[in-house]
């Protein structure tokens, strides 16, 4: 897969998507929005990958839209559609997406994190949606952020454009893990191991149901749950879990 602004690699069931414009703190230009769509489609369609780690190369995770390109009038409106289309593909993919943030996670970078399932950040990472300072809207951060931190805090972050550090982000539910910078890589690797070892068909089906939790009435959601529970119950992973229980060992899920 030829990508200019990021690269994707995989080993066994784990994929790694790394944003790769470190000289610009991984700010995303128009090409980045195209690359993110290609990467999202590859991740979605790869039957072997169950866990995906998303990181940024260099000193930051991602500082969002490339302001140099934006200020020069070189960011077409299609950029915004491309970016949020890619995030929706990732959000709906039957994979567990782990976003690891350091340095800065701003604008589109934080939007990307919100489309993931698990968020880890260094305690000194700066997270925010500064689009209001650029006179624009922070994408579908306006849709996802209230679901994680509540409407009041989401309005505060989006309308003020202020940043929070990793410690504060953890306190308000914006991230799931806040770790010290000098332990960051080790903690990220431990998370990959943790979620990889426990990721079964039931895990993936649970993710899909959780994505629907705010958008369906009870009856419709219940029917969707029953359908997906049947998928989980007839999967090799469930069979392996029951075998492991009888043999008094941990299950080894393979899909």
Residue appearing with tokens 């489609």: 41
> Which of 210, 214, 241, 215 minimizes the C-alpha distance to 97?
210
pLDDT of residue 22: 98
pTM (2 d.p.): 0.96
In CATH, 6-197 is 3.90.226.10: yes
Domain boundaries of the chain, sorted by first residue: 6-197, 200-246
Residue 255 has a pLDDT of 64
pLDDT, position 122 = 98
Give the per-residue pLDDT at 24.
97
Contacts of 145 (CB under 8 A, 6+ apart): 114, 129, 154, 157, 158, 174
> Which pLDDT does position 129 carry in this prediction?
98
Question: What pLDDT does residue 12 have?
Answer: 87
Question: How high is the pLDDT of residue 1?
Answer: 61
Q: Which residues of the chain have pLDDT under 70?
A: 1, 255
Please report the pLDDT score of residue 2 as a whole number.
84
Q: What is the pLDDT of residues 89-139, one digit of tens each?
A: 999 999 999 999 999 999 999 999 999 999 999 999 999 999 999 999 999
pLDDT for residue 76: 96
């Amino acid at each position: 897969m030829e990508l200019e602004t990021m690269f994707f690699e995989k080993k066994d069931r784990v994929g790694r998507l790394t944003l790769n414009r470190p000289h610009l703190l991984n700010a995303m230009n128009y090409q980045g929005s195209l690359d993110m769509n290609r990467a999202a489609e590859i991740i979605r369609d790869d039957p072997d990958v169950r866990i995906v780690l998303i990181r940024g190369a260099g000193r930051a995770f991602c500082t969002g839209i490339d302001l140099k390109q934006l200020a020069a009038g070189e960011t077409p409106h299609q950029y915004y559609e491309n970016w949020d289309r890619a995030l929706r593909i990732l959000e709906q993919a039957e994979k567990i997406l782990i976003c690891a943030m350091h340095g800065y996670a701003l604008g589109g970078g934080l939007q990307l994190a919100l489309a993931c399932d698990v968020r880890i950040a260094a305690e000194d990472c700066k997270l925010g949606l500064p689009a209001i300072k650029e006179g624009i809207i922070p994408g579908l951060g306006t849709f996802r952020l209230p679901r994680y931190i509540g409407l009041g805090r989401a309005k505060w972050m989006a309308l003020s454009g202020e940043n929070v550090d990793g410690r504060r982000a953890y306190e308000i539910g914006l991230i799931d893990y806040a770790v010290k910078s000098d332990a960051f890589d080790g903690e990220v690797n431990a998370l990959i191991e943790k979620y990889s070892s426990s990721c079964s068909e039931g895990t993936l089906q649970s993710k899909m149901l959780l994505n629907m939790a705010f958008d369906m009435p009870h009856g419709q959601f219940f029917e969707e749950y029953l359908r997906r529970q049947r998928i989980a119950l007839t999967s090799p992973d469930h069979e392996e879990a029951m075998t492991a229980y009888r043999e008094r060992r941990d299950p080894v899920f393979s899909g």
